[in-house]
A and B are shown apart, each in its own frame.
Chain A
Amino acid sequence: MGIQILLHIGIVMILSPLLLGIIGKTKAFFAGRWGPPLLQPYYDIGKLFQKGNVYSITTTWIFQAAPIVCLAVVLVSSFFIPLGGLKAPIQFWGDIILFAYLYGLARFLMMIAALDTGSSFEGMGASREAAFSCLAEVVLFLDFIILALLSKKFVLSEIIEGNILSSWPLFGPVLLLVGASYFLVLLVENARIPIDDPAIHLELTMIHEVMALDHSGWDLAYIYYGGAIKLFVLGGLFVNILIPYHSLSSVMQTVMFSGGMIMLALTIGIVESCMARLRLNRIPLLLISAFVLALVGGIVVLVKGV
């Protein structure tokens, strides 16, 4: 199991910034530019690791602890999902709840670290993050409930591996609804357009980025890296839900998974290229529609019975 975990960590850490690179290239393509190199996210993280940290005298240990804890937490969350041919190294009854709340823990720490700075921007960012993630969490859990109902299991990797394939013929539409609502949660959780704009520098409109404003050097690198891994893990779960490949050979599983991840990055890039950001007060509406999508799926499952 130790080797499995190391392999998991290795793959996640090596590959996750690549997704951001693919998204960047896709956006550049639609803007008619060459854009930054595919490996730019690696360079950015590498550059930050060469810098020192600057701490405001008004901050406490919370501010310094949050980035590294966030990185650790998202890494741990990757143990619960299979990556292509690699099985999930850790699984136990109810790990699905831990999976969701690991992100809750990361978010909580980021929010109190933001409040710790005493900056009005960071306070606004924390309040927005709290408000929107409240709504996103409900949707995420509804999705998990539906998946658990379909599989009659309560272990994340078993839900994914065991039932998705058997559910597709009968409950395909439900899985599509779950996939659609989960995709919106994915965009919210990773601060992508149309919810948040990772490229913008305007403090007053940012949600997620504004909470990283006062971090620097290694801490900022942890946050960026953690963000990339979060996208990779949540995206990996998305691919696992939607692509029923789990009965194939492990080589084919890996190929399908990798293909799925690249498709996901391209999709995010295309979504970001063809629409503007939502107004901040419209974001709850988007999350409510994600909730409704999931709810319809849930009703179908309940009415039809598994």
Chain B
Amino acid sequence: MDSQEFDVRNGQSWEWSAVPVLGEDSFRQKILEECSQWASPAGGGASPAGGGARLVNLFAQLEDSGSIRIFVMLGRDQEGKLPVFSMRISQDQASFQSLTPELPQAHMFEREMAEQFAITSIGHPWLKPVRYHQNYRNVPDLWAGIPSRPIPGAYPFYRVGGEEAHEVAVGPVHAGIIEPGHFRFQCHGEEILNLEIQLGYQHRGIEKMMEDVSAERAVLLAESIAGDTVIGHAMAYCNAIESLSDCEISPRAEAIRAIALELERLSNHVGDLGALSTDIGFLPPAAYFGRLRGEFLNLLMELSGNRYGRSLCRPGGVLFDLDQPMIENFRKRLLIARKDLKEISDLFFTKSSVLSRLEGTGIVSTKIAQELGLVGPAARACGCGLDVRTDYAFGMYRFHHIPISTVLSGDVYARSLIRWLESQRSIEFLLDLLTQIPEGDLQIKGSGLKPNHMALAMIEGWRGEIVHVAMTDSNSRIARYKIKDPSFNNWMGLSMAVRGAQISDFPVCNKSFNLSYAGHDL
């Protein structure tokens, strides 16, 4: 087995022929073995007994030889290493034994593969379409009865029987300005027995488009994967492309990217706190948090010319620089924002009527969070200490560390508190980084993409772990671009959080996760 160990690190690229190919049984055994030992340490940092790994990515690709190759990337958080291995299955008999019954984290990945390549995972308990598109192999889709575009009624929803159970359908058109998604509740009175979330309305085919468009347009596509995670996805794309073209960007560009990423995190976390206070009907902090969110967005705008940071990150570096007066201005305003944020958060988190609404609502236990493979703040609120910035440090985070914040209770309160804690740490990080921005060129020209290579880029976006994997063919063109937004892992967490809860608490639970529809639908 040892000869087949192939570990990579975040931001690395390698020839994809180097990835070991295992037989179907040993592939499955190895994944289950590695993941069975995984237990994320509470509090972060402390090494668990077994180490172990979790599923970071699982995807398929067509090979020139005609067979389908399934790659898996496991994350050994404690070592910062990712074992990569693969298996081959033939196009004629596109099926394999499902991992999901033993490893629920694989559930969405297997559904995605079933849709993209018409691969049946035998024994998958919930094999339904994810985004409603035709498969990439031009063979009949696995679902004969399901239309190729999402129609809320035409979907085999899980149903609860009985006289007293009732069904509530919400969406895909919602009150308020949010993205489309369909929520199907099975309720008994006010209690939710099950929630099934059906997405796919925002599917734009980004993964496929990435293979066809020019490099100039590809970065714009990456920026529009999720409108509120522009910096996160653009950085992941840039890191992947830079890795494929052996381009080492300057420390200054790394620092500016990190500043933008943390500003994005701050604006979204603070905005979420404001949205939560609106939802519980506590208006003063809603207004104050909203104003502060604008403050962080304005900083991002002064840096990049766009409130969401579009056109800042480009392969090879960044397009905009910070000069000395701007740095001082940023520091001054961050200090004010820190003070304001503390005052408002103190008001919000000490109010008994707020606490009674948030505490104990929508609990996800640490065990379930680990089984589902939750990532980002949603996982840290359940006591799982995983954070790409620490575990697989990239860019500026290799030199300036951000301590992981974790909360144990796993309820809406924990998911709110984690946002405040992370905001505080982000502001400290920014204040620290702004005093000592390294020198360097903004843009560094890289060579062309290396042929037959594969690159991995992981970024801790504000929602959690963003994973981009780029593969090139023998002509150095992008042959496969695999994107994983943190929402892809976390939507199932929302379903579990509301199980057994009051249906009237669903909006606060949903807001406490605040997942992306577009990022999931790609």
Do A and B make up one complex?
yes
Which positions 243-299 of chain A face chain B at CB distance < 8 Å? Answer: 272-282
- Among the listed stretches A4-12, A66-74, A90-98, A195-203, which one makes contact with chain B, having 4 or more residues with CB under 8 Å of it? A195-203
Q: Which residues of A contact B282 (CB under 8 A)?
A: 275-277
Q: Are B504 and A280 in contact (CB under 8 A)?
A: yes
CB of A276 within 8 A of CB of B507, answer: no
Nearest 5 CB-CB pairs, A to B? A277-B281, A31-B287, A276-B282, A197-B281, A280-B504
Q: Which residue of B lies closest to A280 (CB)?
A: B504
Q: How far does the alpha carbon of A129 sit from the alpha carbon of B16 in the complex, in Å?
A: 62
- Report if A30-B284 is in contact (Cβ < 8 Å); known contacts: A120-B167, A120-B168: yes
B287 touches A203 (CB 8 A): no
A282 B356 Cβ-Cβ under 8 A: yes
Question: Which of B104-112, B136-144, B169-177, B224-232 contacts the other chain?
Answer: B169-177
Q: Check B503 against A276 for contact (C-beta < 8 Å).
A: no
How far apart are the CA atoms of A33 and B282 in the complex, in Å? 14
In the complex the two chains form, what is the Cα distance from A282 to B359 in whole Å? 14
How many angstroms between the C-alpha atoms of A281 and B175 in the bound complex? 24
Known: A204-B504, A272-B281, A279-B502; 14 extra A-B contacts, CB below 8 A, are A27-B283, A30-B283, A32-B284, A32-B287, A32-B291, A121-B168, A197-B281, A200-B281, A275-B282, A279-B356, A279-B357, A279-B361, A281-B502, A282-B356
Cross-chain contact of A280 among B170, B287, B502 (Cβ < 8 A): B502
Q: Interface extent on A, as a size class?
A: 20 to 34
Restricting to A1-45, which residues have a CB under 8 Å from any CB of B?
27, 30-33
The verdict on A194 contacting chain B, using a C-beta distance below 8 Å, is yes
Q: Is the CB of B504 within 8 A of A201?
A: no
Instruction: Flag if A280 contacts B176 (CB, 8 Å).
Output: no
* A205 part of interface (Cβ distance < 8 Å): yes
Using Cβ atoms and an 8 Å threshold, which residues of chain B touch A32? Answer: 284, 287-288, 291
Please state if A194 and B353 are interface contacts (CB–CB under 8 Å): yes
Whether a CB of chain B sits under 8 angstroms from the CB of A156 is: no
> Considering the chains assembled together, what is the distance between the CA atoms of A104 and B497 in angstroms?
38
Q: B167, B170, B281, B504 — which one has the most chain A CB atoms within 10 A of its CB? A: B281
Q: Is A234 an interface residue (CB 8 A)?
A: no
A31-B283, A275-B351 are contacts. A124–B170 as well, Cβ < 8 Å? no
Among A33, A197, A275, A281, max chain B CB count under 10 A is at A275
Contact A120-B166, Cβ < 8 Å, known A31-B286, A194-B353, A204-B506: yes
Q: Is B279 an interface residue (CB 8 A)?
A: yes
- Could you list 8 examples of A-B contacts with CB < 8 Å? A193-B281, A199-B281, A200-B279, A200-B281, A203-B170, A274-B284, A276-B281, A278-B353
Decide: A124 near B503, CB < 8 A? Known: A199-B281, A275-B282: yes
Given A120-B166, A279-B356, A280-B502, decide whether A273 and B175 contact each other with a Cβ distance below 8 A: no
Asked whether, in the complex, the Cβ of A204 is within 8 Å of the Cβ of B284, the reply is: no
Q: Which residues of A have CB within 8 Å of B288?
A: 31-32
Interface residues as binary, B330-362 with A (CB distance below 8 Å gives 1, 0 otherwise): 000000000000000000000101101100010
Rounded to whole Å, the gap between the CB of A268 and the closest CB of chain B is 13
Q: Which residues on the B side are within 8 Å of A120 (C-beta)? A: 166-169
B190 within 8 A of A: yes
